[in-house]
Chains A and B, each alone.
Chain A
């Protein structure tokens, strides 16, 4: 399980640093380079929330 957790959190770390440097095509009215960055902001959130859900560290009497 721990391995899955690591992989899940590494994906957005890499994804958010990748730049697709082009204006066309416009998506949602934004140049592609900007859209791509926003997409990864959302995906980072998704990945980290999933990671959070299955992370064994979060179980048990931490609180």
Chain B
């Protein structure tokens, strides 16, 4: 038992205690458990949604990305395009959800299109996308804890202990637990990342500019976008794709539903970019590692941050970094668990057994938490490469849900249930095909200029999806079936 491990354990216990305590004074109805009774004000929503962006990615991925591929991934890491989308997209979604008692992402589709089958399809697509996301968070957790405890605990033990902790407080407090622990986590990450991001460049290079100049001399072209590959057109298309997919994730929409009013969502869209700036410090850490710990290869690039930390600080502080990293993995996972349990009970089980009461659903959702946790653990230890492939597809999958949602917010929805089904299914199949066969625009049309070849595949699939959605809708609309009921609340 070393100092680092003690610090990590302390924070894990604190986090579980906070999470369980968050339910105090609340009767855990389904609405309370799943979306915090729609009572979260601006500040809590801020931590909840911002917390979702501060994951293991901020910690390991952003610094690792800057370390291995320089500017292109660095700029991609703090794309703030999605806040503009959030400003316009989220308030109407919230209003409809409030008026129609929507508590999960699949619910939204079920009610908008008056089709529980569509809700089931959305739920299935989401679960398939999100299990790999959870698995990657857990793998990140294992690496973080075993690295920062100087190997005194194995990744697998760390993962199991972490999962037990979140299962306890998610089952007890649901969304409330996720929100309150997110507050603690964000403060910790903020402190740790900002500190290291300033300290490393100063300590090892004597400042930011000397650091970048040294990198520029050592690695020509590392600090600009290349002509091809991760080029500017890749950056723009990937940014748009990510922004569209971002809010489709069930846990993101659950976060949106838990807001008290659309005002807090708009306010958040404005404040969030400032928060995003913090990722820059994570990038500085990655950049500073380039010349200090060179030659990290493959998955090891994500360890750049820890290599730097261990050679610079005392064990107890490495423990604090480890604790912040562990929170970064666990707390977003708790939000994901809550949202996933909700869609499985409300949008899959209830379709199968329609006369289940809300109280029973609340119980069922909470019982599902340990089950999902176990399934995730199974895939974490046995998933292998297929999980990673699924993870790569997750964003492209979620983007396929965008057209049906977007058009349903129009005054007159041009999309029919059939259109929504067709678009999603075609989109999903194309994503699977292009990912598994490594098809990109470059392999399909080798003669096109790089500006087009480098475009993100997910975005082109999305365009096909939109065309299919609208085409099938136009064809299936002929009998003039109006499905406007319940739609009129949103203008």
Which residues of chain A have C-beta atoms less than 8 A from B85's C-beta? 13
Interface contact A42-B274, CB-CB below 8 Å: yes
B277: chain A residues within 8 A (beta carbon): 38, 41-42
Name the CB-closest residue of A to B224. Answer: A21
Given known contacts A33-B75, A48-B84, A17 and B280 CB-to-CB distance under 8 angstroms: no
Interface of chain A, main secondary structure: helix
Q: Given the complex, which residues of A lie within 8 Å of B232, measured CB to CB?
A: 19, 21
A63 touches B261 (CB 8 A): yes
Alpha-carbon distance between A17 and B209 when the two chains are bound, in angstroms = 25
Please report the C-alpha to C-alpha distance between residue A55 and residue B78 in the assembled complex, in whole angstroms: 26
B71 in contact (CB, < 8 A): yes
Which B residues touch A19, using CB under 8 A?
Answer: 75, 225, 232, 235-236
Chain A residue with the shortest CB-CB distance to B66? A34
B69 CB to closest chain A CB, in angstroms? 14
Chain B residues with CB under 8 Å of A37's CB are: 75, 78
The residue in chain B whose Cβ has the minimal distance to the Cβ of A12 is B84
Interface string of B73-114 (1 = CB under 8 A from A): 011001111011101100100000000000000000000000
Any A CB within 8 A of the CB of B269: yes
Q: Assess whether B381 is interfacial by the CB under 8 Å rule.
A: no
Q: Is the CB of A41 within 8 A of B270?
A: no
Which B residues between 179 and 225 are near A, CB-CB below 8 angstroms?
A: 207-209, 211-213, 216, 223-225
Q: Is the CB of B239 within 8 A of A17?
A: yes
A23–B263 Cα distance when bound, in Å, is: 40
Shortest beta-carbon distance, B317 to chain A, in Å?
25
Q: Which 6 A-B pairs have the closest CB atoms?
A: A29-B208, A48-B270, A45-B273, A29-B209, A49-B270, A13-B84
Residues of A bordering B, CB below 8 Å: 9-10, 12-13, 16-17, 19, 21-23, 26, 28-31, 33-34, 37-38, 40-42, 44-45, 48-49, 51-52, 55, 57-58, 62-63
| Given A44-B80, A48-B273; 10 other pairs, CB 8 A cutoff | A9-B84, A21-B224, A26-B213, A30-B208, A37-B75, A37-B78, A41-B80, A48-B84, A55-B266, A62-B262
